[in-house]
């Protein structure tokens, strides 16, 4: 726990964020150059296969983000510390962004290769379900009326929702699918040309650094927004600040009239 | 030639998504800082981290 605290403090500094930002830019630029200019085109699919170098890392990042939501949610339910909720919601937001990106990139790849923008294939369907679960997670946070209840409900969804991640990964094995099977994370050696594998790994590392950078920025924004909310809550309401009417002057004893 | 169009769209969407999210975070931070400064009556402390 102390190691995590130290890590969060270190990467939360402006200097560390700047370094992470530059590393992200460099990594993504290197991935683009490597994927578009260095690696040869696929023998069957041609140039469009180069979308793999952003589609697969985006999917990996969505899984990573939802994995962090799961771990932070478990930690919140165990400890009740609100910082775990902050980490979970930051990661969920980034995960949703990359899950949407995965679906868009997959659609762009599927159109020329499969001949369709979309099909209700098991991999695609389970990925949409995954996206809906975490969109629901973020929407749920607007419903709860107290911070602790919001964190508790979110943590439960964060734990239960993660069940879909292994289902998405295994969907191409369990069901007949149009989507290709895993080529890297699979039993045995990766079934891919070494230069393609290097480009894919470079993309995965670059996207992971981007995740680290976006997380540090998102956590800082979360702290600022919490501070702003607590500042608003600590201010007396306009009604409380309005001058109270003077109490009515006491009636003289015996001055009451009875009908 | 069509393949290149899909490729440009894919890499373009990826770059746009990252830039859009970073811009949105910057806007949220700026709004929160502005709100804190207005309510507390103190001038905005540059790009403070709000801790």
**Chain B residues touching A104 at Cβ < 8 A:** 10, 13
Q: Which residues of A lie inside 8 Å of B (Cβ-Cβ)?
A: 12, 14, 28, 32, 36, 46-48, 50-51, 54-55, 58, 94, 97, 100-101, 104-105, 108-109, 111-112, 210, 214, 217-218, 220-221, 223-225, 227-228, 231-232, 235
Nearest neighbour of A104 by CB, restricted to B13, B25, B29? B13
Q: Count up the domains in chain A and report the number.
A: 1
Q: Which residues contact A165 (CB under 8 A, 6 or more apart)?
A: A63, A66, A67, A70, A130
Q: Which residues contact A207 (CB under 8 A, 6 or more apart)?
A: A27, A28, A57, A58, A60, A61, A98
Domain range for A58 is 16-39+46-221
Higher pLDDT, residue A249 or A145: A145
> In this predicted structure, what is the pLDDT of residue A5?
72
Contact at CB, B47 and A224, closer than 8 angstroms: no
Asked whether residue A237 is domain-assigned, the answer is no
Asked whether residue A30 is domain-assigned, the answer is yes
Asked whether residue A111 is domain-assigned, the answer is yes
A127-132 average pLDDT score = 96
CATH number of the structural domain spanning residue A51: 1.20.120
A2-15 average pLDDT score = 74
Nearest neighbour of A105 by CB, restricted to B2, B10, B22? B10
Nearest neighbour of B7 by CB, restricted to A47, A220, A231? A47
Number of H helices and E strands in chain B, helices first, is 1, 0
Band of pLDDT at residue B48, cut at 50, 70 and 90: very low
Asked whether residue A240 is domain-assigned, the answer is no
Specify the pTM: 0.84
Asked whether residue A66 is domain-assigned, the answer is yes
For chain B, give the mean pLDDT: 83
B24-49 average pLDDT score = 80
A239-251 average pLDDT score = 58
Nearest CA in chain B to A58: B14
Taking only the tens place, the pLDDT of each residue in A200-237 is 999 999 999 999 999 999 999 999 998 888 887 777 76
């Amino acid at each position: 726990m102390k190691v995590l605290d130290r890590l969060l403090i270190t990467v939360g500094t402006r200097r560390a964020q700047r370094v992470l930002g530059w590393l992200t830019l460099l990594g993504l630029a290197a991935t683009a150059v490597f994927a578009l200019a260095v690696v040869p085109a696929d023998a069957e699919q041609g140039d469009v296969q180069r979308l793999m170098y952003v589609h697969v890392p985006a999917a990996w990042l969505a899984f990573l983000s939802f994995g962090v939501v799961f771990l932070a949610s478990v930690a919140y339910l165990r400890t009740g510390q609100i910082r775990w909720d902050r980490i979970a919601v930051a990661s969920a937001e980034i995960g949703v962004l990359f899950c949407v990106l995965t679906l868009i990139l997959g659609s762009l790849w599927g159109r020329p290769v499969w001949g369709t923008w979309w099909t209700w294939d098991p991999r695609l369907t389970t990925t949409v379900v995954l996206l809906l679960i975490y969109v629901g997670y973020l929407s749920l946070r607007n419903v709860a009326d107290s911070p602790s209840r919001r964190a508790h409900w979110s943590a439960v969804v964060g734990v239960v929702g993660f069940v879909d991640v292994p289902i998405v990964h295994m969907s191409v094995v369990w069901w007949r699918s149009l989507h290709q099977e895993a080529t890297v994370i699979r039993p045995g050696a990766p079934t891919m040309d070494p230069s393609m594998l290097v480009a894919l790994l470079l993309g995965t590392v670059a996207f992971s650094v981007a995740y680290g950078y976006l997380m540090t920025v998102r956590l800082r924004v979360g702290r600022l927004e919490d501070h702003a909310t607590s500042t608003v809550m600590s201010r007396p309401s306009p009604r409380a600040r309005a001058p109270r009417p003077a109490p009515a002057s006491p009636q003289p004893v015996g001055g009451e009239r009875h009908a | 030639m069509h393949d290149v169009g899909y490729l440009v769209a894919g890499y373009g969407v990826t770059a746009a998504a990252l830039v859009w999210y970073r811009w949105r975070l910057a806007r949220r931070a700026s709004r929160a800082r502005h709100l804190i400064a207005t309510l507390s009556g103190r001038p905005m402390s540059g790009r403070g981290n709000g801790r």
